[in-house]
């Protein structure tokens, strides 16, 4: 049942999946900083694939926030994002070490997404920010600072992709001044998740029409 829920299939793939989960590191981080992890286990491959599918074609940078054990990093590479166009930002040093071992060709930055602009190359076009940060369980000022970084960096270009376990409207949505351009529910995850895609394009205001009434 769990195998089918996670869409794993073959036993050898199951063994590979659990090895890559690095359950020891995940559990250790979860116990040490539950609010910064905000999940009972890493994302399923199915959720990771759906997240990666939201990234549009193009040549800008793709920034992943909160790489964890690398399930979404792997899906982004499989989606065809070149390793040298992908940057992963992760706060936990244990996860950073694991991500660097697992993806030696990907730039893994140790730091907080709340200071994103200082962690990535200046002036490069950003195609997408793909986030699995636990925006609901992080302290409110941190979540606010993270969303502000998205608005600054994606001003008129690129998209942001975020998942949440809150299938209703999560509180951080009110802080995000962006248009939701797509959403999908992924049931094959523990717990089920809602993926939202946002654009920060400023809406071009159409000039008011002056109507002339002839009497």
Ligand X SMILES: C[S@@+](CC[C@H](N)C(=O)[O-])C[C@H]1O[C@@H](n2cnc3c(N)ncnc32)[C@H](O)[C@@H]1O
Pair 200, 155: CB distance under 8 Å? yes
67 binds ligand X (CB under 6 A): yes
DSSP single-letter state for residue 173: G
Site for ligand X in 106-125 (CB under 6 A): 112-114
Q: Does 178 bind ligand X (CB under 6 A)?
A: no
Instruction: Determine the distance from the C-alpha atom of residue 193 to the mean position of all C-alpha atoms in its chain, rounded to a whole number.
Output: 12
User: Which x/- pattern, by CB under 6 A, does the window 13-52 give for ligand X?
Assistant: -----------------------xxxx--xx---------
From 61, 99, 108, 133, residue interacting with ligand X (rule: CB under 6 A): 133
- The helix (run of H) or strand (run of E) holding residue 109 is strand 107-110
Stretch that binds ligand X, among 1-9, 90-98, 165-173, 191-199 (CB under 6 A): 90-98
Strands 86-90 and 159-164: unpaired
Q: Does 68 bind ligand X (CB under 6 A)?
A: yes
Pairing of strands 86-90, 107-110: parallel
Q: How many CB atoms lie within 10 A of CB 182?
A: 12
Footprint of ligand X (CB under 6 A): 36-39, 42-43, 65-68, 71-72, 89-92, 95, 112-114, 132-134, 138, 142
């Amino acid at each position: 049942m769990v195998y089918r829920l996670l869409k794993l299939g073959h036993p050898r793939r199951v063994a590979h999946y659990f090895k890559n989960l690095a359950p020891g590191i995940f559990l250790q981080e979860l116990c040490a900083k539950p609010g910064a992890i905000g999940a009972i286990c890493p994302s399923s491959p199915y959720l990771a694939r759906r997240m990666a599918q939201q990234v549009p074609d193009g040549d800008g940078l793709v920034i992943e926030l909160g790489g964890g054990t690398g399930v979404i990093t792997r899906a982004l590479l499989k989606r065809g994002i070149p390793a040298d166009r992908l940057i992963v930002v992760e706060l936990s040093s244990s996860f950073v070490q694991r991500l660097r071992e697992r993806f030696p060709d990907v730039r893994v930055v140790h730091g907080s997404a709340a200071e994103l602009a200082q962690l990535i190359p200046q002036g490069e076009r950003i195609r997408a920010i793909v986030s699995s940060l636990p925006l609901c369980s992080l302290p409110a000022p941190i979540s606010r600072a993270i969303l502000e970084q998205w608005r600054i960096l994606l001003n008129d270009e690129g998209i942001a992709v975020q998942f949440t376990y809150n299938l209703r409207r999560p509180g951080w949505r009110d802080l995000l001044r962006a248009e939701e351009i797509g959403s999908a529910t992924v049931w094959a995850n523990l717990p089920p998740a809602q993926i939202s895609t946002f654009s920060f394009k400023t809406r071009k205001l159409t000039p008011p029409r002056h109507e002339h009434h002839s009497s």
